[in-house]
Amino acid sequence: MTATSNTPHYAPNYTPTATAAWKTLQQYAQQATGQNITDFFTDNPQRSSQMSLQCGEIFLDYSKNLVSDQTWQTLLELAAQSPLERHRAAMFSGEKINTTEDRAVLHAALRAEIGDQSVASAAEESDQRVRLVKQQLNSVELVSEKIRSGQWLGSTGKAITDVVNIGIGGSDLGPKLACSALQEYAHPGITLHFISNVDGAEILTTLQKLNPETTLVALASKTFTTQETLLNAKTARNWFADTLGLENAQSSSHFVGLTANRENALAYGIPDDQILEFAEWVGGRYSLWSSIGLSIAISIGYQNFVEMLAGAREMDLHFQQAPAAENMPVILALLGIWYSNFLGAQSTAVIPYCERLLLLPSYLQQLDMESNGKSTTVDGKPVDYQTGAILWGQTGTNGQHAFFQLLHQGTRMVPIDFVAAAVDNLSNEEHHRVLLGNMLAQASALMSGQEAPEGEPYRHYPGNKPSNVLMLKKLTAKNFGALIALYEHKVFVQGSIWNINSFDQWGVELGKKMANQLLASDSADQTELDPSTTALFAHIKACQE
Ligand code: F6P
């Protein structure tokens, strides 16, 4: 392949399938069908220590993978033969690597410190950026502290007891996950609520339970144009009007705006000093580290929020500095590529053994699938290999009593990431021992399998099912931040190797446009819909009459 004028400088003449490593991996994949993970341990007694590593307080054991030493070395070669290194430097130095939107990708700057930038040519610019971020985070600190300390008053002079974050996608999932994960640190007198779906039943039933005098709406939207968010905000405004007689609640102390589009927020009526801004180079699904994370800071306190940023920064530095063979995001990314591109896995599961991480799979669905669900390369060519995997999951032990049957005895290969915390202050010794014991048993059983007793083939466990274990020392704000940054960078590495733009989301536009067209017309006849949709439209109307 030759570089076109559209080819970014970090990926000249690159197509993953043309690399020597890709071709070798295709051969190894054929051999892998006859290989058994347990044999790898017999052949190499050092495997478990060789295929594990620590980063801060996160320990990764990736030894239970269907990956021979030889395959592993070739996967590392694939990373070396890809534009990963140049691409990573381009991202951290602020180049506009999101080419289809002509934007830099700098969520890492939200957790950076002055002097972090290792690319000397970009150091000064980077330091300026860090200063801007610190200013913006200063507002997060001021507002969150005022709310937490009871100094932020509603229109009738009462302190805030409930914060309703209205946002969707990245303006919802990250804050919602963080508040749930870090509930150990939650403010005892302030309850967080998250409204995302345009389903009116969600917001109406939530508002019904709240006292408008002590409720604050955090209107979170990078663009301040998102249909669902604006409709939910309108319903909240009507609620303030109906209950408190407060017209234009958006301009009162009951609303703050979290956005990269100050102009739109101002036009909406949010007072200037109640708009907490972040930069347009922060992608929506990477925005929990910005003012979009206000609800996190309100819940766990600004100091813990800063700890979360510090954990993410630790992972950023690790990602930038560690050699590929010892680089956690690179390792997870390569394993994912091995299963999806070479062994035909159609999906990947994330199973946290921690109920507070229940929302982790949903969060990762946006992070991973919105980022890497692409079929066009960065130079505009169609890909002829698989890209983003289908990610799904649920907490253990609940999942064990639901879909683990398929994982153990089904026909499909589903590589798994198990995630847990070794110490849990909110649990007790007995519960935690049982919880972690279950996780270890599942990972081991999936790998080892078991022969069926004579005449009972249905009791055969084939084993050889791969998994990683990500063990946090504790679910602290810092470790949580590092865990999320780990997955962000894993997605980045995969995007680099697949040669796609992980930072746009054009795929969601068509559906939005068609919904707007459809809603603009009250009758199916006036729209240019396909026959099936026209019939459904008519059926709904008939049901509603
Ligand atoms: O679904 C598309 C998307 O643009 C996401 O990337 C984003 O997180 C979400 O919509 C919400 O966008 P906004 O924060 O601008 O309301």
**Which of 107, 196, 226 has most ligand 1 atoms within 8 Å of its beta carbon, as the pocket-test mutant?**
226
pLDDT at 412 over 50: yes
User: Which residue type is seen at 36?
Assistant: N
Indicate which residue's Cα is closest to atom 9 of ligand 1: 169
Q: Which of 273, 305, 337 corresponds to the end of one domain?
A: 305
Do both 102 and 201 map to the same domain?
no
Q: Is residue 17 part of a domain?
A: no
Distance CA(300)–CA(311), nearest Å, equals 15
Ordered strands of the 215-220 beta sheet: 191-195, 162-166, 215-220, 255-259, 275-277
Q: Which of 269, 284, 305 corresponds to the end of one domain?
A: 305
Distance CA(287)–CA(307), nearest Å, equals 16
Distance CA(535)–CA(542), nearest Å, equals 10
3-class SS letters over 112-174? CCCCCCCCHHHHHHHHHHHHHHHHHHHHHHHHHHHHHCCCCECCCCCECCEEEEECCHHHCHH
Q: What is the pLDDT of residues 488-542, one digit of tens each?
A: 999 999 999 999 999 999 999 999 988 888 888 765 565 578 899 889 988 999 9
Residue 2 pLDDT class (50, 70, 90 cuts): very low
The whole-number average pLDDT for the span 20-24 is 98
Q: Which among 23, 134, 234, 512 is annotated as catalytic?
A: 512
Do both 287 and 320 map to the same domain?
no
Cα of 98 vs centre of ligand 1, distance in Å, is 16
Q: Say whether 432 is catalytic.
A: no
Do both 358 and 335 map to the same domain?
yes
CATH code: domain of residue 60: 3.40.50.10490
Q: Burial, 516: exposed, middle or buried (Cβ in 10 Å; 0-12, 13-18, 19+)?
A: exposed
Residue located via tokens 């303006």: 171
**Structural domain count, the chain:** 3
Mean pLDDT is lowest, of 158-167, 244-253, 518-527, for 518-527
Do both 513 and 502 map to the same domain?
no
Indicate which residue's Cα is closest to atom 8 of ligand 1: 170
Do both 467 and 354 map to the same domain?
yes
What is the residue range of 526's domain? 509-544
Q: Is residue 35 part of a domain?
A: no
Cα of 171 vs centre of ligand 1, distance in Å, is 7
More confident position, 12 or 216: 216
Residues with Cβ within 6 A of ligand 1? 167-171, 221-223, 226, 229, 284-285, 370, 505, 508
Indicate which residue's Cα is closest to atom 2 of ligand 1: 508
Do both 84 and 170 map to the same domain?
no
Mean pLDDT is lowest, of 64-73, 243-252, 514-523, for 514-523
Indicate which residue's Cα is closest to atom 6 of ligand 1: 284
Q: Is residue 495 part of a domain?
A: yes
Yes or no: say if 516 and 393 are a contact pair by the CB < 8 Å rule. no
Q: Is residue 477 part of a domain?
A: yes
Considering the chain, what is the average pLDDT of its residues? 96
Do both 179 and 220 map to the same domain?
yes
The whole-number average pLDDT for the span 373-400 is 97
Q: Which among 95, 228, 307, 370 is annotated as catalytic?
A: 370
pLDDT of residue 262: 98
Q: Is residue 19 part of a domain?
A: no
Yes or no: say if 255 and 217 are a contact pair by the CB < 8 Å rule. yes
Q: Say whether 509 is catalytic.
A: no
Q: Is residue 442 part of a domain?
A: yes
The whole-number average pLDDT for the span 98-125 is 90
Q: Say whether 228 is catalytic.
A: no
Residue 5 pLDDT class (50, 70, 90 cuts): low
Do both 138 and 224 map to the same domain?
yes
Neighbours of 217 (CB within 10 A): 27
Atom of ligand 1 nearest to the CA of 226: 16
Q: What angle do CA 281, 283, 285 make, to 5 degrees?
A: 160
Do both 225 and 282 map to the same domain?
yes
Q: What is the pLDDT of residues 284-331, one digit of tens each?
A: 999 999 999 999 999 999 999 999 999 999 999 999 999 999 999 999
